[in-house]
């Protein structure tokens, strides 16, 4: 298993040597390597068993550094960066030649983010390259929100895990790009559509599933436990439909009386979408460890962070 700690200098030395380090962010934990080193980035794809056509997001700590490996940054991007960075927003920007093809899966744009986590920002400040860092989990499985989650899933493939506590947001960043001055959301996530529109006006939502993604996190089947997730309209009816099976319940603000308490996980008893987002991957991971035949769940209110939660639920329930 990997060593877990808070030694920034040790993490820095490993990353400079082209090795992998897991880093905490406010969204989820990332599996990091030098984003400008193709051999280092290749280790990410290998450790995660991630398809090479699914591009990586690069993390750094300042707009000045963003400008060093991107080009043609639009004014709307600067406005969003000023408002929401550090934070759970990734922007797709034209890449400079210094960014390897492997990091961006051969695309012309690179996903860029400044994460909002004290330890990771401290590390990034000391590096002269961005960190390519998708979620630190085997490809397609539940994203990790603690150092222990990372160690359980990838501990044998990582040199070091920075322990930054529990991720506060709990779902991945919102991804936004720009085409002909039009802002387009490619992945719903930890920053709501409403917050973005308050800064730059109306945006287009293009968060469709794809087997050849133009941005990270666009594959249809993703974020899934090992047992089937069934998405329906009403928990009680679903439980009756699957009577005789060992059913787990992932509820938004309530559970079911006829299902054992240990086989249920309620995201927010007070119906708080922010709390639900923080607990989503935790709940999926907990239920996946209960030796269930299947997990039943429903969509949450489709507003604010609820849109990102519903996106993850749909993908966790997708079949291939």
Which ranges of the chain does DSSP label H, i.e. alpha helix? 8-16, 38-48, 63-69, 75-84, 118-125, 147-154, 193-200, 235-241, 273-288, 306-317
pLDDT for 312 beyond 90: no
- Mean predicted confidence (pLDDT) in 120-139: 96
Known binding-site residues equal: 27, 50, 59, 113, 133, 135, 143, 173, 187, 223
- Give residue-wise pLDDT tens across range 80-114: 999 999 999 999 999 999 999 999 988 999 999 99
**Nearest to residue 313, comparing CAs of 186, 164, 184, 188?**
188
- Locate 201 and state its tokens: 């006006």
Q: What are the extents of the domains in the chain?
A: 3-205, 229-317
- What's the pLDDT score for residue 1? 87
How far apart CA 116 and CA 45 sit, in angstroms, is: 24
- What's the pLDDT score for residue 215? 65
* Average pLDDT for the chain: 92
Contacts of 144 (CB under 8 A, 6+ apart): 28, 29, 135, 136, 137, 150, 153, 281
Which residue, chain included where needed, has tokens 């700690």? 5
Checking DSSP bridges between strand 247-251 and strand 294-298, what pairing results, if any? parallel
- Give residue-wise pLDDT tens across range 177-229: 999 889 999 999 999 999 999 999 999 998 555 444 566 765 555 667 889 99
Number of neighbours of residue 47 by Cβ within 10 angstroms? 20
- What's the pLDDT score for residue 221? 57
| DSSP string for residues in 230-270 | EEES-HHHHHHHTTTS-EEEEESS---TTS-GGGEEES-TT
What sign does the dihedral 213-103-97-207 (CA atoms) show? positive
- What's the pLDDT score for residue 43? 94
**Domain 3-205: homologous superfamily in CATH:** DHBP synthase (3.90.870.10)
Which residue, chain included where needed, has tokens 């209110």? 301
Length of the chain: 320
Top-confidence residue, 223 or 264: 264
- Give residue-wise pLDDT tens across range 18-71: 999 999 999 999 999 999 999 999 999 999 988 877 899 999 999 999 999 999
Q: Give me the residues paired with residue 249 across strands.
A: 264, 296
- What's the pLDDT score for residue 218? 56
**Nearest to residue 141, comparing CAs of 133, 131, 152, 132?**
152
Q: What is the pTM of this model?
A: 0.85
Q: How confident is residue 139, by pLDDT bands cut at 50, 70 and 90?
A: confident
pLDDT for 278 beyond 80: yes
The kind and range of the H/E element at 300 are none
The CATH number of the structural domain formed by 229-317 is: 3.40.50.11030
Q: What is the CA radius of gyration of the chain?
A: 19
| 188 CB-contact burial (10 Å; exposed 0-12 / middle 13-18 / buried 19+) | buried
- Whether residue 175 contacts residue 111, with contact meaning beta carbons closer than 8 Å, is answered with yes
Known binding-site residues for L-threonine equal: 27, 113, 133, 173
**Nearest to residue 110, comparing CAs of 125, 120, 100, 118?**
100
Known binding-site residues for ATP equal: 50, 59, 135, 143, 187, 223
Distance separating the N- and C-terminal Cα atoms of the chain: 30
């Amino acid at each position: 298993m990997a060593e877990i700690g808070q030694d920034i200098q040790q993490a820095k030395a490993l990353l400079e040597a082209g090795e992998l380090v897991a880093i905490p962010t406010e969204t989820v934990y990332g599996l990091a390597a030098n984003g400008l080193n193709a051999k280092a980035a290749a280790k990410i794809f290998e450790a995660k068993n991630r398809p090479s056509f699914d591009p990586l997001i690069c993390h750094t700590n300042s707009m000045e550094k963003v400008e060093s490996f991107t080009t043609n940054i639009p004014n709307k991007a600067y406005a969003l960066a000023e408002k929401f960075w550090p934070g759970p927003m990734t922007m797709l920007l034209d890449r400079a030649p210094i960014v390897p093809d492997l990091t961006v899966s051969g695309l012309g744009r690179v996903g860029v983010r400044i994460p909002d986590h004290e330890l990771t920002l401290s590390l990034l400040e000391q590096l002269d390259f961005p960190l390519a860092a998708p979620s630190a989990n085997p490809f397609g499985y539940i994203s990790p929100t603690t150092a222990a989650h990372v160690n359980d899933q990838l501990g044998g493939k990582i040199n070091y895990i920075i322990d930054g506590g529990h991720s506060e947001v709990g779902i991945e960043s919102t991804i936004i790009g720009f085409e002909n001055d039009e802002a387009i959301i490619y992945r719903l996530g930890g920053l709501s559509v409403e917050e973005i529109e308050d800064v730059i006006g109306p945006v287009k939502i293009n968060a469709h599933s794809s087997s050849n993604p133009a941005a990270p996190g666009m594959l249809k089947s993703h974020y899934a436990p090992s047992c089937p997730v069934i998405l329906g309209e009403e928990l009680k009816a679903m439980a009756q439909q699957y009577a005789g099976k060992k059913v787990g319940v992932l509820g938004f603000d309530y559970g079911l009386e006829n299902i054992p308490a240990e086989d249920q996980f309620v995201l927010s008893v007070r119906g708080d979408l922010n709390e639900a987002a923080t607990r989503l991957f935790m709940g999926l991971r907990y239920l996946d460890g209960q030796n269930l035949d299947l997990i039943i769940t429903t969509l949450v209110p489709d507003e604010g962070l609820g849109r990102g939660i519903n996106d993850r639920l749909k993908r966790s329930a997708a079949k291939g």
